[in-house]
Structure 1
C-alpha cells in the first residue's frame, strides 16, 4: 500500500499560517483546524494540540470547542494519550475508549462526551518543548492504517512550522527581556544621579543609599528608582532601545 499524502498545498497552507501570525497559540490553533480537515472526509474528526514549554503553562489549541474541553480535561488530570505521546515521542492509538484501562479519569470524560476513538501523534519540535496532536472520532476503530499514515505525514510538516513559530516567539521574548533590562538600568542610573546631587556623594555611595532604602522599604530597586525620578521629573523614565 502506498503511503497517502496530505493535500498537495498543505506545506503552502502551513507556511501561510506562519506568515500570517507569529503568536504560538494562534499558529497551533490554525494547525489544529487544518489537521482536523485532513482526516475528516465524510465524518467529523476533532483535533487538539497540547504544547508544553519549559517553565511555562501548557498551551492548548484545538479545532473546536468540544476538542478544547477534551484537551483541557487531559491537561487538568495530567493524564491521557496526548500527554503520553509527548513524553514517549510515540504514536498512541485507542480504537475503542470503552475498553481502555489507561488514564481512567480522562477516559471517563471522553466516554461521557460520546467519543470512541483517539489517535495521539507526537510533534518533533526540538529540545526546548514537547507537543502532541490528538484526533478524536465518534465511531470505534475510526483511525485505520491509512489515517495513521496521513496523520504522521501531517505532523512531520506541522512540526517544522511549530518549531519555527517557537523560535520566533523566543526571539521576541528575549528582545522584550532586553528592553525591560535597559529600562530598569535607565531608571536606576537616573535615581543614582539624583541621590548624588541631593547628598553631594559619590556614585558608589549613592548606589549604597538606594539599595539600603530598597531593603528597608521592601521595595524592588527599579520601583524605588522610578519613584525617585517621578518626584523630580513627574514622569516614569524611559530609554530609547531598538530590539
Structure 2
C-alpha cells in the first residue's frame, strides 16, 4: 500500500501520513521503524535505534526493528516481563529513561540490560490503534539524556503521525483480506452453481439433488465441493466461469 509520502513531519501532523507498506503486520511495523529511526536521528543529530512492539487482537505480540541488533531483544524482554518502558507504553503510558548515571528506580533490571546493550537513553511511546491492536514505539540512544524535553516533545508529535499511519495501514490490510475472502467465496459459489446447472440438465433433477451429487463426489475424492465443480466444468466448452463483481454506486 502506498500512502502519501511524508516529508515535512515536524508540525501539527494532522494531515501528514508516513509511507508505510508491507505484506504483513510485521512488515508494516518494520517500515514504520525504518522511517522513524531515520527521522528522529536527523532531528537529534545523533543515530538512534528503535523497535515497534505490536500486540494483535488475539494477544500475540510482534516486535520488529530496522535491521538486527540489541534493541529487538531488549524490547522483547521488556514486553514479556513488563519490567520496562515498552511494557508500560503497551498499557498506554509514556516512559522516558534519560540518564544511565542516575539509575531509574522503577526498573533496576531494565536499566542494567539497557546499559549492557550499549544504550544510555530510551523513550517508549504508546501508539493509539484500533480494532483491538495495541502498540509501543521504543527508541534507544547511546547518548545520555538524548530524550530530554525538547527532543521528546518533537518525538511525541511524530508519534501521533506514526500512529495514524499505522492505523490506516492495518485497516487497509484488513480490508484487502476481507475483499479477497469475499471474492474467493463468490468464485466458489459461481463454480458450484454452474456445475449444479450442468448436473440438473444431464440428470433432470433439482438443484438440491445436484448439489448432493457434488457433495458425495467431494467426499469420495477427498476434495472440496468447489474443486469437484471446477473439475466438472473444465471439460465443458466454456470452461470454469469467471466471477463478476459489480461495484456499488
**Would you call these one fold, judging by a TM-score over 0.5?**
yes
Pairwise CA distance, 1:231: 3.7
Aligned to 1:232, the other structure's residue is in SS state: coil
Structure 1 residues 209 and 115: alpha-carbon distance in aligned structure 2, compared to 1, 3 A threshold: same
Moved over 6 A (4+): none
Counterpart for residue 66 of structure 1 = 68
The equivalences for 1:62-101 within 5 A come to 62=65, 64-66=66-68, 70-71=71-72, 74-75=75-76, 79=80, 81=84, 84-85=87-88, 87-95=90-98, 96=100, 100-101=107-108
TM-score, reference length from structure 1: 0.73
Aligned to 2:166, the other structure's residue is in SS state: helix
CA distance in 2, matches of 1:76, 1:192: 56
Is 1:195 equivalent to 2:196 in the alignment?
no
Would you say the 8 A contact 1:187–1:237 is kept in 2? Answer: yes
Is 1:239 equivalent to 2:243 in the alignment?
yes
Pairwise CA distance, 1:222: 1.8
The equivalences for 1:22-37 within 5 A come to 28-37=29-38
Count of paired positions: 230
Pairwise CA distance, 1:86: 5.4
Is 1:42 equivalent to 2:42 in the alignment?
no
CA distance in 2, matches of 1:177, 1:56: 23
TM-score, reference length from structure 2: 0.71
RMSD: 3.7
Structure 2 unaligned segments of length 5 or more: list them: 1-8
Structure 1 residues 47 and 73: alpha-carbon distance in aligned structure 2, compared to 1, 3 A threshold: closer
2:169 is aligned, of 149, 154, 165, to: 165
CA distance in 2, matches of 1:111, 1:237: 63
Structure 1 residues 240 and 57: alpha-carbon distance in aligned structure 2, compared to 1, 3 A threshold: farther
Aligned to 1:15, the other structure's residue is in SS state: coil
Structure 1 unaligned segments of length 5 or more: list them: 1-5
Would you say the 8 A contact 1:7–1:38 is kept in 2? Answer: no
Deviation per CA, 1:188-219, whole angstroms, max 9, x where unpaired? 11221232233332111111122222234332
Counterpart for residue 15 of structure 1 = 17
Would you say the 8 A contact 1:86–1:130 is kept in 2? Answer: no
Task: Identify, as 1 or 2, the structure richer in helix.
Answer: 1
**Deviates further, 53-62 or 205-214:** 53-62
Structure 1 residues 140 and 77: alpha-carbon distance in aligned structure 2, compared to 1, 3 A threshold: closer
Deviation per CA, 1:9-45, whole angstroms, max 9, x where unpaired? 8666x43626xx5866666445433422443223211
Counterpart for residue 154 of structure 2 = 150
Counterpart for residue 128 of structure 1 = 132
1:139 is aligned, of 140, 143, 146, to: 143
Counterpart for residue 213 of structure 1 = 217
